[in-house]
Chains A and B, each alone.
Chain A
Amino acid sequence: MIDSDAGMEFSFNRVAAMVRRYWYLLRSSWPRILDLIYWPTVQMLMWGFLQVYISQNAGFFAHASGVFIGAVLLWDILFRGQLGFSISFLEEMYARNLGNLMMSPLRPAEFLLALMIMSIVRLSIGMIPVSFLAIAFFGFNLWALGLALAAFFANLILTSWAVGIFVAGLLLRNGLGAESMAWTIMFLFLPLTCVYYPVAVLPEWLQYFAWALPPTYVFEGMRALVIDHVFRADLMIQAFAFNVVMFAAASFAFFKLLQSARVQGSLLQTSE
């Protein structure tokens, strides 16, 4: 009836079970799917029209068409990637299903991998249609960035997962009292990672913080590509190095918080 080695090692079968669980949930609710698409669309349209207006009135932006739309689309990868991860995790808390999962053979690493996969699924549902709308409305083709887009995406999604993993640890340890962190933590990155302006705009002392965050390199790289038509591979490599550190730190924090949650007995009572 049961595989003899079941539960002993990392299992992609259990990861698949969790992905299936989230897929069932997503497809059972059209408002959940609509929610994935409508806000990125609103953002893209707002920043796109703003860029059109500014470029008609300022010489520099006339040469830098697509900077704002590119920024907003990449920001959405970062923001929606983390949100997709965290919302799937929160669904377990809302459903009071966390106890079932924590007392099953599902390992935390398998759980996290399933959440990462779901963040890509949710992101794709939202971002792919929006990227085509950007072509239709503003002639900005995100896909034309080619290999650069792959490098931007890989770095941004890694950061979003690292933040998502840290937030999941906070939720395990503190219950739904930490829920607001899941929704707002990424906004801390918005001014510091210089999504819409160059790092040079920041005061010098703040630039040190900005350069310690992987997305800063991505947004600088995007501007270099769109404005100067130069792909800065060096920036992508530095972003990746910072991402490795950030991901390792977030994973370490998650397992420490999980350990603490077991000691505090907060895994059964995950309410406020």
Chain B
Amino acid sequence: MDAQNTSAIVVDQLVKRYKGVAAVDGISFQLPPGSITGLLGGNGAGKTTTIAMIMGLVTPTSGTVSVLGMQMPQHRYRVLHRMNFESPYVDMPMRLTVRQNLSVFAQLYAVQNIDERIGSLAAELDLTEFLDRPTGKLSAGQKTRVSLAKALLNKPEVLLLDEPTASLDPDTADWVRSRLERYRSVQKATVLLASHNMGEVERLCERVIIMKRGRIEDDDTPAHLLLRYGRETLEEVFLDVARGRRQSEAAQ
């Protein structure tokens, strides 16, 4: 069996153009099951479009995406119930209570023992006291935890996270990261994390894909990236890539 068949996500020569402008320009990568990978890049680098194509929400101009062996978006309904995602571009309905929102999504994802699952997630994500409160009345940090609870409801084998700690204070962000680490280690899920936060990626990810203007500029482990660019932090590496400094120049 080749790597393509055993990978949880396979992206091959993926292109997305909007009115002739390339948002994603011929990227390829494979993510093995149980891996956690960071997708780094500035605004407009193509991270969100890449995640949307992996979820089947956006149709590629060319190239292919397969998730858990299924081509997206053609066979998305064979695999969407085994995936989930969290993104700052979507919200949970504000007037519904946290419990109502989670139970609706649990039913959509065909989760069994819904009350039990919501109870255990609420305990794990420190949401128990907010379960019967309207989602719109929660703070930004609490809403992020609700979105995370929704993303974990079906115990997804593939979890896509688009800036999961954006707009959170450092303490809450750190708390969310620790829950993600725990979920990934317990469930052996494949996680793809798009982020601007270098510290987050450095802490969570065993592999980093750096995108710029729709292309992959680099793809390696955090340790190797630091070594090759001769930098102390991923933030410095990111700035080298963003400003077009070559590895050799950066290392001097």
Chain A interfacial positions (CB closer than 8 Å to B): 1-3, 6-8, 11, 13-14, 16-18, 20-21, 24-25, 28-29, 91, 95-107, 259, 262-265, 267-269
Contact with A2, one of B48, B91, B103, B111 (Cβ below 8 angstroms): B111
A264: contacting residue among B18, B96, B108, CB under 8 A: B18
Chain A residue nearest to B87 (CB atoms) is A99
Q: What is the chain A residue whose CB lies nearest that of B106?
A: A17
- Is A105's CB under 8 angstroms from B95's CB? no
Q: Scoring B residues 53 to 87 as 1 if CB is less than 8 Å from chain A, else 0, what string do you get?
A: 00111110000000000000100011111110101
User: In the complex, which residue of chain A has the Cβ closest to the Cβ of B58?
Assistant: A265
- A104 closest partner in B (C-beta): B108
Query: Which residue in A7, A20, A29 is a CB contact (below 8 Å) of B77?
Result: A7
Give chain B residues whose Cβ lies under 8 Å from the Cβ of A269: 89
Min CB distance B64 to A, Å, is: 15
Q: Is B212 interfacial (CB 8 A cutoff)?
A: no
> Within 8 Å CB of A14, what residues of B?
107-108, 110
Given contacts A11-B110, A95-B91, A104-B80, contact A1 B58 (CB under 8 A): no
Interface residues of B (CB under 8 A from A): 16, 18, 23, 48-49, 52, 55-59, 73, 77-83, 85, 87, 89-97, 100, 103-105, 107-112, 117, 134, 150, 154-155
With A13-B110, A265-B49 given, is the CB distance from A25 to B95 under 8 Å? yes
Closest to A99 in B: B90
Q: Are B105 and A265 in contact (CB under 8 A)?
A: no
Partner of B107, one of A7, A13, A95, A102: A13
In the bound complex, CA of A20 to CA of B134 (Å): 16
Choose one: A2, A18, A20, A91; the contact of B109 (CB below 8 Å): A2
A24 to B102, CA, bound (A): 12
Alpha-carbon gap, A184 to B85, bound state (A): 36
Is there an interface contact between A95 and B93, defined as CB atoms closer than 8 Å?
yes
A267 with B59, Cβ < 8 A, contacts A96-B90, A99-B87, A105-B109 known: no
Given the known interface contacts A25-B93, A29-B95, the answer about A103 and B108 at a Cβ–Cβ threshold of 8 Å is no
Whether the Cβ atoms of B92 and A262 lie closer than 8 Å is no
Please give, as numbers and ranges, the residues of chain A lying within 8 Å of B49 by CB-CB distance.
Answer: 265
Tell me which residues across on chain B come within 8 A of A262, comparing CB atoms: 57-59, 73
A102 to B56, CA, bound (A): 9
Contact status of A2 and B112, CB under 8 A, knowing A21-B96, A97-B91, A265-B52? yes
Chain B neighbourhood of A25, CB < 8 A: 93, 95-96
- List A contacts of B111 (CB < 8 A): 1-2
A28 touches B108 (CB 8 A): no
Q: List 22 A-B contacts (CB under 8 A).
A: A1-B117, A2-B109, A2-B155, A6-B109, A6-B110, A8-B78, A17-B105, A25-B93, A28-B95, A28-B96, A95-B91, A96-B90, A99-B90, A102-B57, A103-B85, A105-B109, A107-B77, A262-B73, A265-B58, A268-B58, A268-B87, A268-B90
CB-CB under 8 A from A107, the residues of chain B are: 77
A131: min CB distance to chain B, Å: 29
B89 touching A2 by the CB < 8 A rule? no
Q: Which 6 A-B pairs have the closest CB atoms?
A: A6-B110, A17-B107, A7-B81, A99-B90, A96-B91, A6-B81
Q: Which residues of A contact B112 (CB under 8 A)?
A: 1-3
CB distance from A149 to the nearest CB of B (A): 34
Contact between A100 and B109 (Cβ–Cβ < 8 Å)?
A: no
